[in-house]
Amino acid sequence: MRATFMYGAGDVRVENAPDPALRQPTDAIVRIVRSCICGSDLHPYHNLPASEQGTPMGHEFLGVIEDLGSEVSGLKRGDLVVAPFAYSDNTCVFCREGLHTSCLHGGFWARGEVGGGQAEAIRVPQAQGTLVKLPVGEDSELLPSLLTLADVYGTGYHAAKQAHVNARTTVAVIGDGAVGLMAVLSAKRLGAEQIILMGRHDERTKLGIDFGATDVVPERGAEGVEKVRELTGGEGVHTVLEAVGYMNAYETAVGIVRPGGVISRVGVPQYEDAPIGFGSLFGPNITLTGGPAPARAYIEELLPDVLEGRVEPGRVFDRTIGLEQVPDGYRAMDERTALKVLIQP
Ligand SMILES: [Zn+2]
């Protein structure tokens, strides 16, 4: 099969790779029908050390089950399924608490013996717990929106859930990438009436307004903080959904959250040290939360709205490419000429 590997920063290649095969009775083999490139794939694209052996890439996919291990039930060959960005048994103590990214038998794609999703096919460990059957055909127009359940929609939703967004909370979303836009959509779904989107890419913030943003703040740093405070009577917002991951986004979050508020981070932090003391979080009683979204926990909940067309999260995809064009797809996302790139192997 053909599959994507990264050999170092900026060095993405599509190469021949062995076809995946069942290894455990709990595995499935999925032929990938749609995949995509994630904003978080850009972190290794910027700083992966060069190596002789490439790293498989991709953690968002939906596809058709081609083969199943003997211990997988509830699924069959030919089923169209979506996989969250982490595999999990869906039965252990952490999965039962809705924290599938901490599954005792789980893990992440493109690590160790498990391949990546930017490929023609993939071996899925813990298939019964991981894969969710989709009641549509492979030619459905809903595929882009259904694919967002693998990561970005679940991640945006996780940010909003962790922050306890509701009709009484004001919300600021930092970042107008796909996850930030999904955080807007999620805050809207949870009833928020004021949703301030901090982003400065016109086409993205326009989509954010379609998804439910009530205000857009393109300014950054101290100026951005001041604008958000102006929009909230000087008080700041109850909840900040931080979908970027850089230190300046964290500092902005601290600057715009109101006393007693919540900062919920789903942008993968590119820092280890950040202010949490009296002058930042402790003094004003701020809660800091967030982490890798247990996307699996939200699929059943978010699926009906997608199937019935009440939301259209797939609008975040603004470019579709074949597998051979994946290196161009990375470049386009890195140069911000594409918001999110859909791959049709
Ligand atoms: Zn588990």
Residues 223-254: tens digit of each pLDDT: 999 999 999 999 999 999 999 999 999 999 99
CA of 28 to the centre of ligand 1 (A): 17
User: Which H or E element spans position 222?
Assistant: helix 221-231
The pTM of the full predicted model, rounded to 2 decimals, is 0.95
CA of 297 to the centre of ligand 1 (A): 11
Ligand 1 midpoint to CA 128 (Å): 11
Residue 193 carries which side chain, given as an amino acid letter? E
Q: How confident is the model at residue 316 (pLDDT cuts 50, 70, 90)?
A: very high
> For the chain, percent helix, then strand, then coil, each to nearest 5?
35, 25, 40
Q: Are strands 194-198 and 170-174 parallel, antiparallel or unpaired?
A: parallel
Q: Terminus-to-terminus CA distance in the chain, angstroms?
A: 10
89 Cα: distance to centroid of ligand 1 (angstroms): 4
CA 157 to centroid of ligand 1, rounded, Å: 20
- Tokens 């993968």 correspond to 268
| Cα–ligand 1 centroid distance for 127 (angstroms) | 12
What is the CA(133)–ligand 1 centre distance, in A? 19
Read off the pLDDT of residues 162-199 as tens digits, 9 standing for 90 and up: 999 999 999 999 999 999 999 999 999 999 999 999 99
How many whole angstroms from its chain centre is CA 140? 22
Instruction: Report how far ligand 1's centroid is from the alpha carbon of 313 (Å).
Output: 27
Find the 298 Cα to ligand 1 centroid distance in Å: 15
Tracing tokens 């779904």 back to the chain, one arrives at: 189
Of 264, 45, 59, 30, the C-alpha closest to 151 is 59
Q: What integer best gives the mean pLDDT of the chain?
A: 97
User: What tokens were used for 242?
Assistant: 């931080």
